[in-house]
């Protein structure tokens, strides 16, 4: 019996392992490819990788040009007025979500009768004609590096995923876009392009996954030179794996899901899983100081990077060895990490890798209120026993998560749900309008995971937390991947929203959550928003000395003449509130152009001067002219 149950558990574990992998559809004709290969561009066969990798050169073939993610996956209200998620890629795909309509109507005052549809196809005439630097183009042609001046390609690379960027696309409004897109296939291609750009004074904007939420990819409207978008997506190979040192050397254009999948084939992983990992690229992570969901085990990008190669107008910067730590003056990697494409292009990265975990287990805990939840997370951090991931959602998000429960197939499950609800609210006396939930993900040895799990649940119990099952936890993480799709659905019905993050010392967590949420609500009211906004937050990472907090806000914009302006004002005010409450300018989204007005107060005059002097030395002619950060 015991053996039986343990094999059951293993089977369950296997299933669970599919979960993360499950939303990443595996290419059918996949061949392992973990050898150091020659630069394919030189072989004149640039299309090979497109079949094996997620991101083709023509991204618009599989992804939305004016929304998030894959073209085949989206939320919609079917003929019965029920929400469903299309496609086959995700766990939620093809499912009915019965609670979503009521939640949207109740939370935002939205109505299915009031639609705000997007412009269906890109009108090429709305796109400014390309400013071509003929001499540069001629020389690029000579290198055989593929490039394009087509409107669709250029528009796709003119934006990230800030609300105002997507909203403008939906309205068919196109601002300044790159004049040309190039697809280097390897480091030496990049070296050539940067040399040519310097020679002909062309502005280069590196483009990785395009998931920026800091206006980092926006072309500076005042830029008069030809702007060339350097799309790294074709530099996507793992060049080697070093099993002795547990490192892998990877081209920087690889996107998260490909990197993880390829490493998994060899039994390894990086464990770096930012919420955008389906689309965001390794180079982008390095350039923005990214953070992954499971950083408690694997670390953030700065902990993972062993070696970086970056091509700048001054030449290539890299370290001479792979020593795990060095005392050689300020770490030059830290000029690269977070440089946000202002200094050069990251082309190759050596990363730490780990053997794939034997066992993964989700979990969740319900707390009577947010205060108790935060106190529990603080204690977990204090005891340094945080699971791979631990996230605390506030009451509004708890309700939101509930609304996204797919239709339950059996009466028994729904009966069980009712019973659980009764137990928590009636028997335990939790107020449904105050309770909140923490989602957990444990990873590691089977034994250790179970031990670890017990330890965390014991701490939670001290703060009034009740274990609420694996399913709730799992759904919490799944939401992470579909929430961006939901914003597109909202926009169809006059609801716009944005998210932003910060990091803050522990003693400030509750205060900052309360004050920022309240500020959002007050600002919306002051700016004439007709309906109360959704203003919600979650604590997504714990550290020794503080936490990362993520805020979401969304509102129904009917009746507003310039909703995007209002939304930007609200976000601006919320960021002011964050800074006034001891929060940081950004935990992992970066600064871009959206937040650079606060850089001076964030790093001091001298700090900013230091960064500027680096820029002046490395790129005196501002070839990397995206004007982020500084």
Partner 1 sequence: MNKCSGHEELDILEERRQSGDLSHALRTFSPQPYKEKPPCSASDLSKRTLESQYLQYVFKESSLSMEEVKEDARLLLEEMSQNLQLGFIRLMGYTLSKVFKRLYTNIYVNMEGLNMLQQAIQESPVILMPTHRSYIDFLIISYVLFTYDIPVPVIAAGLPLAGMKLVGEILRRSGAFFIRRSIGSDKLYWAVLSEYVKTIVRTGFAPLEFFVEGLRSRTLKSVPPKLGMMHMVLEPYFKGEVFDITLVPISISYDRVLEESLLAHELLGIPKPKETTKGLFKATKVLQEDYGCMHVNFGQPLSVRELCQGKINRSQYNLTPRQVLSPDVQACVIWLAHLIVRIQEEGSYISPWSLMACVLLQCPTSTLTERGMVWSELKDRTLWLKKLALRFGAHLRWPEQVSDQNVLLSMVALHHSIVAHKGDRVCLVREEVPIRKHRLSAEEEVNRTAVAMLMLASYRNQSLHIFLRPAMLATVIQVTKSTQRDELFTFFCFLKEILSNEFIFVPGKSTQDFEEACFLMKDCGAILFSPEEVTVTEAGQEVVSFLCAFIQPFIRSYQVMLDFLTEHEIKNISEKEFHLAVRSFVVKLILSGTTENDIIIPICELQTYEALSSDIQKNVLSALRTLGVLTKFRGSKNNEYQVDKAAVKRINDILCKSLLELEKIFTHSLLLTS
Out of 432, 580, 600, 607, name the contact with partner 1 by CB under 8 A: 580
Give the residue among 215, 262, 256, 261 at the shortest CA–CA distance from 233: 256
514 binds partner 1 (CB under 8 A): yes
Minimal distance, residue 45 CB to partner 1, in Å: 55
Q: Which residues contact 309 (CB under 8 A, 6 or more apart)?
A: 187, 316, 317, 318, 346, 347, 348, 349
Out of 508, 587, 596, 615, name the contact with partner 1 by CB under 8 A: 508
Region near partner 1 per CB under 8 A, out of 61-69, 109-117, 410-418, 513-521 = 513-521
Closest CB to partner 1 among 480 and 502? 502
Region near partner 1 per CB under 8 A, out of 138-146, 225-233, 485-493, 512-520 = 512-520
Closest CB to partner 1 among 329 and 429? 429
515 binds partner 1 (CB under 8 A): yes
Out of 182, 512, 574, 623, name the contact with partner 1 by CB under 8 A: 512
| DSSP-based three-state secondary structure for 262 | helix
* Alpha-carbon span 144 to 24, nearest angstrom: 33
| Residue ranges in 290-349 that form contacts with partner 1 under rule CB under 8 A | none
The C-alpha angle 365, 366, 372, rounded to 5 degrees, equals: 100
507 binds partner 1 (CB under 8 A): yes
Closest CB to partner 1 among 118 and 504? 504
Within its chain, how far is the Cα of 41 from the centroid? 29
Minimal distance, residue 514 CB to partner 1, in Å: 6
Closest CB to partner 1 among 167 and 370? 370
Minimal distance, residue 400 CB to partner 1, in Å: 20
Beta bridge partners of 498: 553
Minimal distance, residue 583 CB to partner 1, in Å: 9
Beta bridge partners of 550: 501, 538
Closest CB to partner 1 among 361 and 517? 517
Minimal distance, residue 397 CB to partner 1, in Å: 18
E strands present in 262-314: 268-269, 305-312
469 binds partner 1 (CB under 8 A): no
At residue 363, φ and ψ (nearest 5 deg) are -165, 170
* Alpha-carbon span 187 to 167, nearest angstrom: 35
Closest CB to partner 1 among 391 and 519? 519
Kindly determine how many residues on this chain lie close enough to bind partner 1 according to the rule CB under 8 A: 12
582 binds partner 1 (CB under 8 A): yes
Decide: 502 and 577 in contact? Cβ < 8 Å.
no
* Alpha-carbon span 3 to 345, nearest angstrom: 53
| Residue ranges in 105-134 that form contacts with partner 1 under rule CB under 8 A | none
Minimal distance, residue 576 CB to partner 1, in Å: 10
* Spatial strand order in the sheet of 203-207: 147-148, 180-182, 227-231, 203-207
518 binds partner 1 (CB under 8 A): yes
575 binds partner 1 (CB under 8 A): no
DSSP assignments along 412-469, one per residue:
HHHHHHHHHHHIIIIIS---TTT-EEEEEEEEE-HHHHHHHHHHHHHHHHHTT-EE--
E strands present in 46-119: 75-77, 83-85, 96-97
Decide: 305 and 351 in contact? Cβ < 8 Å.
yes
Query: HSE (CB half, 13 Å, CA atoms) of 49?
Result: 30
Region near partner 1 per CB under 8 A, out of 103-111, 206-214, 463-471, 514-522 = 514-522
Q: Which of 362, 494, 550, 557 is catalytic?
A: 550
Closest CB to partner 1 among 89 and 378? 378
Minimal distance, residue 370 CB to partner 1, in Å: 11
Residue with tokens 């309509």: 101
The C-alpha angle 234, 155, 90, rounded to 5 degrees, equals: 60
Q: Which helix (H) or strand (E) holds 554?
A: strand 546-556
Q: Which residues contact 612 (CB under 8 A, 6 or more apart)?
A: 630
Helix 446-462 × helix 370-382 angle, to 10°: 130
Whether 423 sits among the annotated catalytic residues: the reply is: no
Region near partner 1 per CB under 8 A, out of 173-181, 507-515, 566-574, 615-623 = 507-515
Minimal distance, residue 601 CB to partner 1, in Å: 8
Residue with tokens 């929430």: 483
Give the residue among 530, 501, 472 at the shortest CA–CA distance from 590: 501
62 binds partner 1 (CB under 8 A): no
Closest CB to partner 1 among 147 and 370? 370
* Alpha-carbon span 7 to 564, nearest angstrom: 54
Q: Which residues contact 139 (CB under 8 A, 6 or more apart)?
A: 196, 199, 200
Closest CB to partner 1 among 240 and 598? 598
Minimal distance, residue 512 CB to partner 1, in Å: 7
Out of 51, 61, 303, 511, name the contact with partner 1 by CB under 8 A: 511
Structure tokens belonging to residue 262 = 């390829």
Minimal distance, residue 395 CB to partner 1, in Å: 12
Structure tokens belonging to residue 64 = 């939305």
* Alpha-carbon span 360 to 259, nearest angstrom: 19
Region near partner 1 per CB under 8 A, out of 113-121, 212-220, 387-395, 579-587 = 579-587
Out of 59, 101, 192, 519, name the contact with partner 1 by CB under 8 A: 519
581 binds partner 1 (CB under 8 A): yes
Region near partner 1 per CB under 8 A, out of 267-275, 325-333, 353-361, 577-585 = 577-585
Closest CB to partner 1 among 243 and 511? 511
> Annotated active-site positions, please?
550
Residues within the interface to partner 1 (CB under 8 A): 507-508, 511-512, 514-515, 518-519, 579-582
């Amino acid at each position: 019996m015991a053996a039986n149950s343990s094999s059951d558990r293993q089977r369950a574990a296997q299933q669970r392992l599919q979960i993360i992998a499950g939303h990443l559809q595996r290419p059918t004709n996949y061949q392992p490819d973990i050898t150091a290969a020659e630069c394919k561009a030189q072989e004149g066969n640039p299309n090979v990788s497109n079949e094996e990798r997620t991101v083709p050169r023509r991204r618009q073939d599989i992804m939305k040009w004016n929304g998030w993610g894959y073209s085949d996956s989206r939320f919609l209200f079917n003929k019965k007025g029920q929400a469903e998620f299309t496609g086959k890629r995700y766990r939620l795909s093809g499912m009915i979500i019965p609670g979503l309509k009521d939640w949207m109507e109740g939370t935002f005052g939205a109505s299915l009768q009031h639609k705000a549809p997007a412009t269906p196809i890109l009108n090429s005439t709305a796109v400014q004609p390309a400013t071509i630097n003929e001499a540069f183009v001629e020389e690029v042609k000579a290198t055989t590096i593929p490039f394009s001046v087509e409107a669709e390609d250029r528009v796709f690379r003119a934006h990230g995923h800030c609300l105002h960027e997507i909203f403008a696309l939906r309205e068919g409004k196109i601002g300044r876009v790159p004049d040309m897109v190039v697809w280097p296939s390897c480091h030496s291609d990049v070296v050539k392009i940067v040399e040519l750009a310097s020679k002909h004074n062309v502005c280069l904007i590196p483009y990785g996954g395009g998931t920026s939420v800091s206006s980092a990819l926006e072309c500076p409207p005042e830029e008069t030179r030809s702007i060339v978008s350097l799309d790294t997506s074709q530099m996507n190979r793992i060049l080697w794996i070093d099993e002795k040192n547990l490192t892998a050397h990877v081209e920087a254009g690889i996107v998260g899901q490909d990197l993880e999948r390829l490493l998994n084939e060899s039994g390894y992983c990086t464990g770096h899983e930012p919420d955008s990992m389906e689309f965001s690229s390794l180079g982008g992570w390095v350039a923005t100081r990214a953070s992954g969901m499971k950083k408690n085990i694997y670390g953030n990008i700065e902990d993972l990077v062993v070696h970086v190669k970056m091509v700048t107008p001054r030449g290539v910067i890299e370290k001479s060895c792979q020593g795990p730590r060095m005392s050689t003056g300020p770490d030059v990697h830290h000029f690269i990490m977070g440089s946000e494409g202002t200094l050069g292009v990251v082309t190759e990265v050596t990363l730490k890798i780990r053997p794939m975990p034997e066992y993964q287990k989700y979990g969740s805990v319900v707390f009577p209120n947010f205060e108790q939840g935060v106190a529990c997370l603080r204690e977990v951090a204090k005891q340094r026993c945080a699971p791979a991931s631990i996230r605390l959602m506030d009451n509004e998000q708890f309700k939101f998560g509930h609304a996204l429960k797919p239709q339950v197939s059996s009466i028994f499950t729904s009966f069980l749900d009712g019973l659980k609800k009764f137990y928590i609210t009636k028997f335990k006396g939790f107020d449904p309008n105050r309770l909140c939930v923490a989602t957990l993900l444990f990873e590691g040895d089977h034994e250790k995971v179970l031990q670890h799990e017990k330890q965390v649940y014991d701490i939670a119990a001290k703060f009034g937390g009740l274990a609420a099952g694996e399913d709730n936890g799992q759904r919490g993480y799944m939401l992470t991947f579909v929430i961006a799709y939901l914003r597109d659905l909202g926009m169809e019905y006059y609801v716009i929203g944005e998210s932003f993050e910060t990091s803050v010392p522990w003693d400030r967590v509750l205060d900052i959550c309360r004050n920022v949420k309240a500020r959002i609500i007050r600002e919306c009211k002051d700016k004439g928003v007709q309906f109360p906004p959704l203003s919600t937050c979650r604590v997504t990472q714990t550290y020794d000395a503080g936490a990362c907090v993520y805020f979401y806000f969304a509102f129904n914009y009917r009746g507003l003449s310039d909703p995007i302006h209002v939304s930007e004002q609200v976000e601006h005010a919320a960021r002011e509130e964050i800074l006034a409450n001891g929060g940081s300018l950004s935990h992992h989204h970066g600064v871009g152009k959206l937040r650079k007005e606060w850089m001076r107060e964030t790093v001091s005059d001298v700090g900013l001067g230091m960064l500027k002097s680096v820029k002046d030395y490395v790129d005196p002619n501002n070839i990397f002219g995206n004007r982020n950060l500084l």
